[in-house]
Amino acid sequence: MYLIHRVAAVALLGLVSCSDEPADGAIPSIPLRLGYFPNLTHAPVIVGLEKRFFAEELGPTVALEPSTFSAGPQVATALLSNALDMAFLGPNPAINAHHQSRGRGIRVVAGCTSGGAALIVKPAIRSAADLRGRRVATPQLGNTQDVALRSWLVDQGLHVTREGGDVAIVNQTNAQSLVAFRNGAIDGAWVPEPWATRLRIEGGGKVLVDESALWPEGRFVTTLLVVRTEFLRRHTDIVTRFLRGHIRAVNFAVVDPDTAQAVLNADLVRLTGRALAPDVLSVAWRNLAFTVDPLPSTLERSAENARRVGLLGAVDLSGIYALAPLNQGLASRGRPAVAP
């Protein structure tokens, strides 16, 4: 993930004040605090913000307050502590938030991105057995790629503990992993795009595992849109309007990828100070699929994977989905509903 850590809001996109005492003639607004990552797997979010799809659908009575984060567990904590209202994040942090709140804290209201993760290793490594005694990085303990790596190692017959086991699992930012991979401090990394492509192109690595090969039809949820349950209960209309903007943003990313990539890269410069190289961006983009379908069956499997590698207890995901607002938006555009 193209990661920075900025918990404070980077922009206030609402056109009116959030004050409880609006000036004469001003329209009072309701704040909508949105969390997301400034990276490729959150491209539709960035497109929706920059093309003003969200602002147009929300209207002047909602003040959209976006904040960028560097890892899913941070976003989950912000949601459960009432510091965010909505957020885009990976499946495992969403599962953890649901579990920690005993099924009451958050609801999944849409998908965003499928696919786009891989285990990149040094060219001499040809199999899982070659990883024994090696160092492999993931972005954060318990995040989506960390669970994927641990689950795959178990499937390959390797012993995995919270600290690593047969393979030393190193948790570090993706930027740190690229540097560490180049200088030989790690032997591989299970990372999302564009980092998988960057480790291959810039770091001289090779793909040992393309995660899409591990899932039926190559589809697995990478990024979800979740909402605080209380916010959804109080402001279902706002969530519905936001989802109309989300549908437009995902559709734009699908039908006009060249423009969407340009919008993404321009925003990465603004948020992180650096754009993605064109060859990296074009290759990585093709490894992703943008969709509002939350792919529920893959979330169930992600939860089971986290449980069997010791990062999650038994979890009941019943009630985690609230897809009626999404399906209203899809119906308004003549598109079929998605089912949990």
The one-character DSSP state at 321 is B
Query: Which pLDDT score is estimated for 28?
Result: 63
Query: Which pLDDT score is estimated for 26?
Result: 59
Is the same domain home to 77 and 146?
Answer: no
Backbone phi, then psi, for 143, in 5-degree steps?
-80, 175
Query: Which pLDDT score is estimated for 3?
Result: 36
pLDDT in tens, 149-175: 999 999 999 999 887 799 999 999 999
Is 319 a member of any domain? yes
Is the same domain home to 207 and 135?
Answer: yes
Q: Which range marks the domain in which residue 157 is found?
A: 117-218
pLDDT in tens, 49-82: 999 999 999 999 999 999 999 888 889 999 999 9
Is the same domain home to 328 and 224?
Answer: yes
Q: How many CB atoms lie within 10 A of CB 222?
A: 27
Is the same domain home to 232 and 324?
Answer: yes
Query: Which pLDDT score is estimated for 143?
Result: 87
Is the same domain home to 31 and 64?
Answer: yes
Cβ atoms 154, 160 nearer than 8 A: yes
Residue among 43, 76, 243, 206 nearest 144 (CA): 76
Is 17 a member of any domain? yes
Query: Which pLDDT score is estimated for 262?
Result: 96
The one-character DSSP state at 269 is H
For the beta sheet containing 106-115, the strands, ordered from the edge strand earlier in sequence to the opposite edge, are: 6-9, 62-68, 30-36, 86-89, 221-228, 106-115, 288-290
Is 338 a member of any domain? no
Is 1 a member of any domain? no
Strands 106-115 and 288-290: antiparallel
Residues of the chain where predicted confidence (pLDDT) is lower than 70: 1-28
Q: What is the pTM of this model?
A: 0.86
Is the same domain home to 258 and 109?
Answer: yes
Structural domains counted in the chain: 2
CA distance 119 to 139: 12
CATH code, domain carrying 57: 3.40.190.10
Do you find a cis peptide bond into 73, omega within 30 degrees of 0? no
Is the same domain home to 189 and 199?
Answer: yes
Is 66 a member of any domain? yes
DSSP letter for each residue of 75-99: HHHHHHTTS-SEEEE-HHHHHHHHH
Q: Which residue in this structure is represented by tokens 């209380």?
A: 230
Q: How many CB atoms lie within 10 A of CB 258?
A: 9
Is the same domain home to 99 and 230?
Answer: yes
Cα distances (angstroms) measured from residue 98 to each of 80, 93, 183, 318: 9, 9, 39, 10
Is the same domain home to 206 and 273?
Answer: no
Is the same domain home to 167 and 184?
Answer: yes
Is the same domain home to 11 and 110?
Answer: yes
Is 340 a member of any domain? no
Is 70 a member of any domain? yes
CA distance 106 to 232: 9
Is the same domain home to 105 and 204?
Answer: no
